[in-house]
């Protein structure tokens, strides 16, 4: 029960941030202020569903582990909702992705903070010491850096269409490196976390260069 209350509290914080962020970006998305709250709530619900569904998929649909979460679900599945929402509301996908990538980052940061509170996803014990690698804390710090790095150009309408791929590139590289410090049931040198991280990195690079090529073909210049 305490874990559920903690998760609910963390998700509430994530929803509040999303609401405030959407209020700041409402002109860019062309939404009314009263639409920001239901969109924020829906974003949190979709985010939770994505990380839970992906966790079940990556363990071979073992429903006994349906309570698990995989943050890669936010990266691979949640953007489908962004694209669908953009098409249904006739908004430019690039604008929607730019704004909601910041929401995704903060939501996943909240999920990782919940890992600390619930005691899961711990790092390996550092050889010769009685402490573990602070993988969860490092990831939270990484998210904070991303929020400042990517949040500013979003507010200034710069790097249009590049925010999501930049996030994928950065997160893929970060997770690939920190996967060696995380606790896993297998003792193999590489495990599924490394695979998902490499896929994230590869997709991010592919989307980034595709977007840049489109901008160059249009004769436009990417604002920095």
pLDDT value at residue 164: 97
Token pair recorded at residue 122: 């711990």
Q: How far is CA 175 from CA 7, 142, 200, 217, in A?
A: 23, 10, 9, 33
Q: How far apart are CA 198 and CA 147, in angstroms?
A: 22
Residue 119: predicted pLDDT: 82
Judged by DSSP in three states, 184 sits in coil
Query: Residue 192 pLDDT > 60, yes or no?
Result: yes
Q: How far is CA 161 from the centre of its chain?
A: 16
Predicted local confidence at residue 146, as pLDDT: 97
- Max mean pLDDT range (32-36, 50-54, 203-207): 203-207
**Bigger pLDDT: 222 vs 143:** 143
Task: pLDDT band for 117, please (50, 70, 90 cuts).
Answer: confident
CB 198 within 8 A of CB 176: yes
Q: What is the pLDDT of residue 65?
A: 61
Q: How confident is the model at residue 215 (pLDDT cuts 50, 70, 90)?
A: confident
Quote the pLDDT of residue 187.
66
Taking only the tens place, the pLDDT of each residue in 62-111 is 766 655 788 999 999 999 999 999 999 999 999 999 999 999 999 999 98
What pLDDT is recorded for position 63?
65
Q: Mean per-residue pLDDT for 180-197?
A: 81
Task: Please check whether residue 123 is in contact with residue 102, taking contact to mean a CB–CB distance below 8 angstroms.
Answer: no
SS3 182: strand
**Cα angle 89-93-94, degrees, rounded to a multiple of 5:** 145
Asked if residue 193 has pLDDT above 70, the reply is yes
**pTM of the predicted model, to two decimals?**
0.90
Q: Provide the residue count of the chain.
A: 224
Cα 101 to the center of its chain, rounded Å: 7
Residue 116 scores a pLDDT above 60: yes
CB distance 158 to 172 below 8 Å: no
Over 70: is that where the pLDDT of 36 sits? yes
Q: Count H helices, E strands: the chain?
A: 9, 0
The owner of tokens 């903070």 is 113
Q: Find how far residue 75's CA is from the centre of its chain.
A: 5
């Amino acid at each position: 029960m305490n874990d559920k209350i903690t998760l609910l509290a963390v998700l509430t914080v994530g929803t509040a941030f999303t609401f405030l962020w959407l209020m700041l970006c409402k002109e860019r998305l062309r939404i009314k202020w009263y639409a920001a709250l239901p969109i924020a709530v829906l974003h949190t619900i979709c985010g939770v569903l994505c990380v839970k569904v992906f966790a079940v998929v990556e363990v071979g649909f073992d429903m006994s582990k349906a309570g698990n979460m995989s943050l890669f679900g936010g990266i691979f599945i949640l953007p489908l909702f962004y694209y669908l929402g953009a098409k249904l509301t006739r908004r430019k996908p690039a604008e929607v992705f730019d704004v909601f990538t910041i929401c995704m980052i903060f939501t996943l940061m909240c999920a990782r903070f919940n890992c600390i509170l619930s005691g899961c996803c711990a790092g390996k014990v550092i050889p010769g010491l009685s402490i573990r690698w602070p993988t969860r804390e490092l990831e939270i710090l990484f998210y904070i850096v991303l929020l400042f790095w990517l949040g500013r150009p979003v507010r200034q309408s710069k790097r249009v269409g590049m925010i999501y791929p930049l996030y994928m590139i950065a997160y893929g590289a970060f997770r690939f490196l920190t996967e060696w410090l995380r606790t896993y049931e297998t003792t193999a040198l590489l495990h599924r976390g490394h695979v998902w991280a490499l896929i994230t990195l590869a997709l991010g690079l592919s989307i980034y260069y595709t977007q840049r090529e489109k901008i160059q073909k249009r004769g436009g210049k990417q604002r920095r």
